[in-house]
Amino acid sequence: MDETTNWRHMASAPRDGSRVLVTIRPSEQGPAEVDMAYWARPDQFGDEGWRAADSYPGHVVLYAEPELKCWMPMPTAGAMPSPWEGDDVEQLDGSGI
């Protein structure tokens, strides 16, 4: 399987500002979904943390750590994965085998 199509634990996500795909956990606001995000250092527009890639000054969408279930590198053009729906965290990265 292509290494860029595996969901991974958030603890291993790059915190260098590079954009990645994240699974947002389901909540009372809606079902699980995939979004593009990046780690941002604190600045005049917001706090340190995971920001939605479509954030902009004055409208920063910041995700709390518990909202994000897992991440993966950006896939090739045209390939959008489904959100991670597994219950067991051990299944990520194939560690549930």
The pLDDT value given to residue 84: 75
Distance between CA atoms of residues 61 and 21, nearest Å: 15
pTM of this structure: 0.72
Helix or strand or coil: residue 57? coil
Q: pLDDT digits over 38-87, tens only? A: 999 887 766 789 999 998 877 888 999 999 999 999 877 776 777 877 76
CA 61 to chain centre: 13
